[in-house]
Amino acid sequence: MERIQVNGQRAEASLSAGGELLWRIDGGVEQRLVIDSQVLGFAAEGKEIKIRSFVGDLEGPSCGRGDLERSVMKEFVLEMPTEMVAEIWSQRLQGCIDSLETEYQLHSQELAYKLDILMYDGIACISGDGVLVEVVNGLLQREDWETAIKVPLGIIPAGTGNGLAKSLMESVGEMYSIENASFAVIRGHKRSLDVTCVLQGEKRFFSILMLTWGLLADVDIESERYRWMGRARLDFYCFLRIMNLRKYYGNVKFVPAPGYEFHGEPKKEGTCCLGSIDNSEQGGDAVTEDSQKSYQGPTASFKDSDWRSFDGPFISISLVNVPWVVEDVMQAPEAKFSDGFLDLVLIKDCPKSALLSILMKTKNGTHVQSPYVIYLKVKAVKLVPGNRVGHPKKGGIVDVDGEVIARGEGTYVRNGGDLMAYGPPIQLTVDQGLATVFSLPGE
């Protein structure tokens, strides 16, 4: 036992090898924190260690797992006798918290691909949506993907967008906050989440949030040059893009969900099949035996489906899986986590004043009521992105969950090669409820 102070009161404390922090205030009862299930994190400075946690009633002899139903966030300040003792305790606390820190782009995808899944009950990402997307892609590239993708995933918002965390909180009527997102992971309640397979030839990418092309993709990616402005960069660059508005030629074909069959024009081309695709007809890289062992996408066939289409010019096209794409933009108000559909949000050519009104209304989802916005649910999509109106040699950006998968000529500076080519069709299909995420109980 170590003589320390806990929140300014003298106490005796110990940290067990099993990860339990126990202390007894002089003259009081023994109290306890279970590190792996109740501690959110800690910070050490000098002789003090500040521990953030979710705990239940501390008046009793224990605040263990059974108290999570009535848990609240609390901070405990442990003051050690010396800085050396504080450093030793910090190292022991860190050893009880199994965490990995990413060091470069796609690092979390590599970690998820190599992780010993059987050792974990879940994976929580303290990040924006991008890290979680990488984890999903890493899990689905494994040979044991059917087991790996069943591991529950948590998101504690710490990025620029945080759309999934916002959507999860709003869906159950809870305030969007780091504390509530952390509590969702600790509580362990789970819900299913659709995963979208984005396909071009043999190239695949798995999405959980949104594919966008046009205005929103341009703002998301090109505003990176103003990252020093923080989140304000998005509003600032959006204003610049409206003043110098780009419009794009292109085409989007889709299989409408029930109730949306009369949107668009009937497809005049031959039949189209998505899902179980004959690799010999797709071209691209040769398919290896190892790649075939990973997840190849949904097996649903749409060969005999009624395909519809819209032709450009467009200002923006988004295919959305959850209601909120960032914490203050409800892009798809009717989107559901596991309905097996994508929400297609298409902004047609319109005056700049109307576009400004549309974008302002995305904060509450009423933008979909604009006559310049087409909003419907779809089962499958084939997007053919074209070049800018008035600039036949300049293309656009196809952005999936914050990452560029394809870009045309004359766009923002490349950071290496993109996964897919700009111009050829990009296909999307949905695997209903493939992934599992932590969520607070609710609907």
| Residue-level length of the chain | 443
Selecting among 57, 67, 129, 304, the annotated active-site residue is 129
What residue type is assigned to position 86 of the chain?
A: A
DSSP string, 340-378: S-EEEEEEES--HHHHHHHHHGGGTTGGGGSTTEEEEEE
Distance CA 317, CA 314 (A): 7
Q: Is there a contact between 182 and 156 (Cβ–Cβ < 8 Å)?
A: yes
Sign of CA dihedral 393, 225, 155, 361: negative
Q: Is there a contact between 33 and 65 (Cβ–Cβ < 8 Å)?
A: no
Judged on CB neighbours under 10 Å (0-12, 13-18, 19+), 227 is exposed
Cis peptide leading into residue 313 (ω within 30°): yes
Neighbours of 270 (CB within 10 A): 5
H or E stretch including 207? strand 203-207
Distance CA 196, CA 433 (A): 10
| Nearest C-alpha neighbor of 430 from the set 234, 327, 298 | 298
Rounded to 10 deg, the angle between the 232-243 and 352-360 helix axes is: 160
Beta bridge partners of 383: 252, 426
Residue that is written with structure tokens 């890289």 in the block:
285
Radius of gyration of the chain (CA): 25
Q: Look up 290 and say whether it is catalytic.
A: no
Distance CA 418, CA 53 (A): 41
Residue that is written with structure tokens 């289409």 in the block:
309
Distance CA 241, CA 315 (A): 11
Q: What CA–CA distances, in Å, run from 277 to 196, 382, 395? A: 16, 14, 28
Q: Is there a contact between 347 and 320 (Cβ–Cβ < 8 Å)?
A: no
Rounded to 10 deg, the angle between the 163-171 and 129-140 helix axes is: 90
| Nearest C-alpha neighbor of 66 from the set 213, 186, 205, 232 | 186
| Nearest C-alpha neighbor of 372 from the set 308, 328, 313 | 313
Q: Which residues are catalytic?
A: 129
